[in-house]
Amino acid sequence: MSNNILKITFDASTIKGVISTDVNYSPNMSNPQLYNSFPNILFIPSIKLSNSLFDKNLGEDDIKKIFLSPAQFENFIKRLREKKLYEPITINDAKKKGIIYNNITFILNLFFKKGDKLFINMNPYIINNYNWNDKYNIVPVPGQKTPIIDVKISFVLHSGKELSFVDSTRLNCMQKKQNIINDYYKLVGLDEPSGNTAPLKYHPVDTTTKDSPNKSNQSRRYRRYRSSTLGGTKKSKSKSKSKSKSKLKSKSKSK
């Protein structure tokens, strides 16, 4: 199984403003049904990726699965070795030759095309575009030769299941305006301003129902109370009756 992973963290905004920050991407966000069993995007740091490396009869989803399924990924590498297209190279050399940058761009463009779906807390969105600052971190993994590649991107999304021309134009205008502001701040030597936060009702809130600790504690206390009272009231009544009878007997004796 391959341990070469591209870790993606993202911020997301819509026409309403920023809706999510520092979210760890997982493939099931792109397709909850098809990619649910794949936890990571697999990464090749030492082979320069291009469309020519893949069979012409493969569809886009087929190519995506190569970077999701460890078995298909290993098979892909093996076939490249057989075709003499794979040559071992160090991470530093791959960085200097721009292979890591190229492969990050290839995978981001593969998974996050304009019009693709993205689910955040199971709320559906449509990707208008993504932005990457061309930076990445090489994170060493103890006991492994190949590190994790860590990137941060930002999405411009449309809420819903379809992206119309008008929606896309509005989002593009918003993005251009933000880029002009960011360029100005860079020019004067200031940090880029953070985007405006969207009202809470537009945030992708997790709608899955989970019992809160207080609610679960209350239910447990109720169950204990119910089990203790079931049959207990009858016993208490019988005890009270026996006590009253004993009192009557003692009174009659005394008389």
Reported as half-sphere exposure (CB side, CA atoms, 13 A), residue 103 has a value of: 24
Q: Is residue 150, in this structure, part of any structural domain at all?
A: yes
**Bridge partners (DSSP) listed for residue 125:** 118, 159
Report the C-alpha gap between 49 and 2 in whole angstroms.
Answer: 17
Report the C-alpha gap between 31 and 127 in whole angstroms.
Answer: 13
Query: What integer pLDDT is reported at residue 30 of this predicted model?
Result: 95
The b-or-e profile of 11-23 (16+ CB within 10 A means b, else e) is bbbbbeebbbeeb
The answer to whether 161 and 122 are in contact (CB under 8 A) is: no
How many folded domains does the chain comprise? 1
The residue whose two tokens read 């016993």 is: 235
CA-based angle 80:84:88, to the nearest 5? Answer: 80
Query: What integer pLDDT is reported at residue 162 of this predicted model?
Result: 66
Q: Is residue 233, in this structure, part of any structural domain at all?
A: no
pLDDT band at 107 (very low <50, low <70, confident <90, very high): very high
Q: Indicate yes or no: pTM above 0.85.
A: no
Q: Is residue 20, in this structure, part of any structural domain at all?
A: yes
pLDDT of 255 above 50: no
198 DSSP 8-state letter: P
CA-based angle 16:18:23, to the nearest 5? Answer: 140
Calculate mean pLDDT across residues 235-255: 49
Q: Indicate the range of 105-114, 120-129, 246-255 predicted with least confidence.
A: 246-255
The SS3 assignment for 13 reads: strand
Q: Is residue 236, in this structure, part of any structural domain at all?
A: no
Calculate mean pLDDT across residues 146-170: 79
pLDDT of 201 above 90: no
Q: Is residue 209, in this structure, part of any structural domain at all?
A: no
Query: What integer pLDDT is reported at residue 236 of this predicted model?
Result: 46
Sign of CA dihedral 51, 97, 40, 142: positive
Calculate mean pLDDT across residues 59-87: 90
Q: Is residue 131, in this structure, part of any structural domain at all?
A: yes
Query: What integer pLDDT is reported at residue 158 of this predicted model?
Result: 85
Domain of 104?
A: 5-202
The answer to whether 157 and 23 are in contact (CB under 8 A) is: no
Q: What is the pLDDT of residues 170-183, one digit of tens each?
A: 666 666 666 666 66
Query: What is the rounded average pLDDT for all residues in the chain?
Result: 78
Instruction: Please indicate whether residue 178 or residue 254 has the higher confidence score (pLDDT).
Output: 178
Query: What integer pLDDT is reported at residue 146 of this predicted model?
Result: 79
pLDDT of 148 above 80: yes
Q: Is residue 43, in this structure, part of any structural domain at all?
A: yes
Q: Is residue 247, in this structure, part of any structural domain at all?
A: no
Q: What is the pLDDT of residues 77-103, one digit of tens each?
A: 899 888 877 777 888 999 999 999 999
Query: What integer pLDDT is reported at residue 144 of this predicted model?
Result: 79
